[in-house]
Chains A and B, each alone.
Chain A
Amino acid sequence: MTTDQNNMQVSLPQRSIRIENLFKEYVPGKPILKDISFEVQGKSSVAIIGASGTGKSTLIRCVNKLIPPTAGNVFISGENITKLQGSELREARRKIGMVFQEFNLVERLSVMENVLCGRLGYLTPWRAWLRKYPQTDIDQAYELLESMGLYDFARQRADSLSGGQRQRVGIARAVMQDPHVLLADEPTSSLDPKTSVEIMELLVALSEAHDIPLVINIHDVELAKRFTSRIVGLSNGGIVFDGPPSELTEEHLKTIYGGASWLQ
Chain B
Amino acid sequence: MSEIKVNTWERFTFGERMARFIVFFGFALALSISLRTVEVIPEFLLDAPTQVADLLARMWPLDYAYYPQGIHHALMETLHVATLGTLLGVLMAVPVGIMGANNIVRVPALHWLAKLILVSSRSVNSLVWALLFVAVFGPGPLAGTIAIGFRSVGFVGKLLAEALEETNPGPVEALTAAGAPWLSVFVKSYWPQVAPAFWGIFLFRWDINVRESAVIGLVGAGGIGMVLDTALNLFYWDRVSVVLLSIFVVVIVAELLVTNIRKRII
Which of these binds chain A: B5-13, B59-67, B134-142, B222-230? B5-13
Contact A138 B7 (CB under 8 A): yes
Residue of B nearest to A115 (CB): B9
Chain B: residues with Cβ within 8 Å of the partner, total of 7
Whether A113 and B11, one on each chain, are in contact in the complex, defined by CB atoms closer than 8 angstroms, is yes
Return A126 CB to nearest CB of chain B, in Å: 16
A112 CA to B11 CA, complexed, in Å: 9
Per-residue 0/1 for A143-180: is the Cβ within 8 Å of any B Cβ (1 yes, 0 no)? 10010000100100000000000000000000000000
Question: Does A131 have its Cβ within 8 Å of any Cβ on chain B?
Answer: yes
Docked CA distance A135–B5 (Å)? 14
A154 touches B9 (CB 8 A): yes
How far apart are B144's CB and chain A's nearest CB, in angstroms? 46
Contact of A142 among B7, B10, B11 (CB under 8 A): B7
* Chain B nearest CB, measured from A115 CB (Å): 10
Q: Is A139 an interface residue (CB 8 A)?
A: yes
Q: Are A131 and B7 in contact (CB under 8 A)?
A: no
| B24 CB, min distance to chain A CBs, angstroms | 15
Q: What chain B residues lie within 8 Å of A139 (beta carbons)?
A: 7
Interface residues of B in 1-21 (CB under 8 A from A): 2, 5, 7-11
Shortest CB distance A127–B (Å): 13
Q: Which residues of B contact A151 (CB under 8 A)?
A: 5
Q: Across the interface, which residues of A come within 8 angstroms of B7, CB to CB? A: 135, 138-139, 142
Of the four ranges (under 10, 10 to 19, 20 to 34, 35 or more), the interface on chain A belongs to 10 to 19
Majority-rule SS of B interface residues: loop
Distance (whole angstroms) from the CB of B175 to the closest CB of chain A = 39
Contact B2 A146, beta carbon cutoff 8 Å: yes
Chain B residue at minimum C-beta to C-beta distance from A112:
B9
Nearest CB in chain A to that of B11: its residue: A131
Give the complex CA separation of A61 and B10 in angstroms.
33
Interfacial chain A residues near B8, Cβ < 8 Å: 138
Which B residue's beta carbon lies closest to that of A109?
B11
Closest to A151 in B: B5
Which residues of chain A have C-beta atoms less than 8 A from B9's C-beta? 112, 133, 138, 141-142, 154
Q: Which of B2, B7, B9, B11 has the most CB of A within 10 A?
A: B9
List of B residues within 8 angstroms of A138 by Cβ: 7-9
Q: Which residues of A contact B11 (CB under 8 A)?
A: 110, 113, 131
**Minimum distance in angstroms from B4 CB to a CB of chain A:** 12
Complex-state Cα separation, A220 to B8, whole angstroms: 40
In the complex, chain B residues whose CB is within 8 Å of the CB of A112: 9
* Set of chain B residues within 8 Å of A131, measured between Cβ atoms: 10-11
* Interchain nearest-CB distance for A143 vs B (Å): 8
Q: CB-defined interface of A90-129 with B at 8 Å, one 1/0 digit per residue?
A: 0000000000000000000010110000000000000000
List residues of chain B with CB within 8 A of the CB of A113. Answer: 11
Q: CA of A131 to CA of B8 in the docked complex: distance in angstroms?
A: 12
Chain A residue at smallest Cβ distance from B5: A142
Closest residue of chain A to B13, judged by CB? A155
Cα distance, A185 to B113, chains bound together (Å): 59
A110, B11: Cα distance in complex, Å: 8
| Residue of chain B at shortest CB distance from A130 | B11
What is the minimal beta-carbon distance from B248 to any residue of chain A, in angstroms? 39
Which residues on B are within 8 Å of A, measured CB to CB?
A: 2, 5, 7-11
Not counting A112-B9, A138-B9, A142-B7, a sample of 10 additional A-B residue pairs whose C-beta atoms are within 8 angstroms of each other reads: A110-B11, A113-B11, A131-B10, A133-B9, A138-B7, A138-B8, A139-B7, A141-B9, A142-B2, A146-B2
The 10 closest A-B pairs by CB, nearest first: A142-B7, A138-B9, A131-B11, A139-B7, A112-B9, A138-B7, A146-B2, A113-B11, A154-B9, A138-B8
